[in-house]
Amino acid sequence: MTSVGIIGLGLIGGSLARALVAAGVPVIATDPSDDARTAARAAGMQIADDVATLCGNHPSMVVLAVPLRAMRVVAGEVSAALDDAPGWDPTVVDVGSVKGPVRDAIRDAGLAGRYVGAHPMAGTEHSGFDASFPDLLRGIRWVVTVDPGATRLGDGVPTSGKATDPDRLAGVLRLITAELGGTAAVLTDDAHDEAAALVSHVPHVLAGELLGLVAGAPVRDVALGLAAGSFRDGTRVAYGDPRRTEAMVTQNAAWVAPALRLAARDLEMLADALDSNAPTGWFFDRPEPLRDRRPRQTNGRTPGGVPEIPLRETAPPPEQRVPLEGDWPAELVERCSVGAVVVLMERETAVLT
């Protein structure tokens, strides 16, 4: 990896830029906000005034760290810059929390053959470059996505003209596991979007509902005065930018809506049971299979001591090795779909646990 261009210097883009600079990776970044560019320059980063100027520096990887609603426009700008530089061959990566719609935008921009999807499973309720910090993206779990019908066959022939290039995938995995010290689950877009709906997007909706219930209650001020840990933990993400939350929820509507309907059904059933003095144990016992997989607390990884990704409280699984030959991306998808993660990319082997 000779250099990384980062388009967007918000919480995630800014934290990625800081982490890579600290790891010794050359970074050039840009943001439409004058304030963000000025702050990044003051932090010692190489900053371009716009996307075209950034692309003119020909970084070997271009990371789209822009809001989901801006992804299509920015992908088009990168594509236009590629047309003006026929010898430039970057890998294009995004860090968005939804993958299916992003791949559609990337494909429409003519960048599908260069694209590898990525999503760092970390964040805070804050936004903007000033809220970014390098430790946010160090040593965390990432999801890296590929198109299951677009990996290469064993003879090296793509299954389609939009194939996920294994070399580009390997490069992204090396950046995550080496420079950033993280781990990566390689999944399909659908698997990512369904899982993200359950552990990120629906929790954002429920946090907003809980905060909204209190905001509209006649005892609001009394309730806030009594609120402690459960309310704080249950509403933390609702204090973030509502437009950002709205964008990720609506972009992932195909997976979020069914999950919300299931939640609404269960809550209605619980309310009916409470009204009729019927048994309610069925509701409170449902999480039992996961109660021994409690998230471990971090030591200040994020403001407020936000829990990191839930991890098994048992011994780590045995090491697995996948040779980087044949259709190895598909094998990573198969193994990661049942819980394995990539922890190291050797020259000829992917190491998973």
pLDDT tens profile 292-333: 887 654 434 444 444 444 544 466 688 999 999 999 999 999
Mean pLDDT of the chain: 91
CA quadruple 222, 223, 226, 228: dihedral sign: negative
* Domain enclosing residue 337, as ranges: 4-188+317-352
Within this chain, do residues 171 and 207 fall inside the same structural domain, yes or no? no
Task: From 255, 290, 325, give the residue that closes a domain.
Answer: 290
Within this chain, do residues 11 and 136 fall inside the same structural domain, yes or no? yes
pLDDT, residue 295, reads: 61
Residue 66 lies in a domain: yes
Residue 130 token pair:
């000033």
Q: How many domains does the chain have?
A: 2
Within this chain, do residues 8 and 147 fall inside the same structural domain, yes or no? yes
Task: From 272, 290, 308, give the residue that closes a domain.
Answer: 290
pLDDT tens profile 248-298: 999 999 999 999 999 999 999 999 999 999 999 999 999 999 988 876 544
Within this chain, do residues 8 and 138 fall inside the same structural domain, yes or no? yes
Within this chain, do residues 29 and 172 fall inside the same structural domain, yes or no? yes
Within this chain, do residues 41 and 155 fall inside the same structural domain, yes or no? yes
Residues 24-44 as b/e (b if ≥16 CB within 10 A, e otherwise) read ebebbbbbeeeebbebbeebe
pLDDT, residue 149, reads: 62
Residue 304 lies in a domain: no
pLDDT tens profile 26-83: 999 999 999 999 999 999 999 999 999 999 999 999 999 999 999 999 999 999 999 9
Within this chain, do residues 87 and 181 fall inside the same structural domain, yes or no? yes
pTM: 0.89
Within this chain, do residues 145 and 229 fall inside the same structural domain, yes or no? no
pLDDT > 70? residue 162: no
CATH assignment at residue 276: 1.10.3660.10
CATH assignment at residue 100: 3.40.50.720
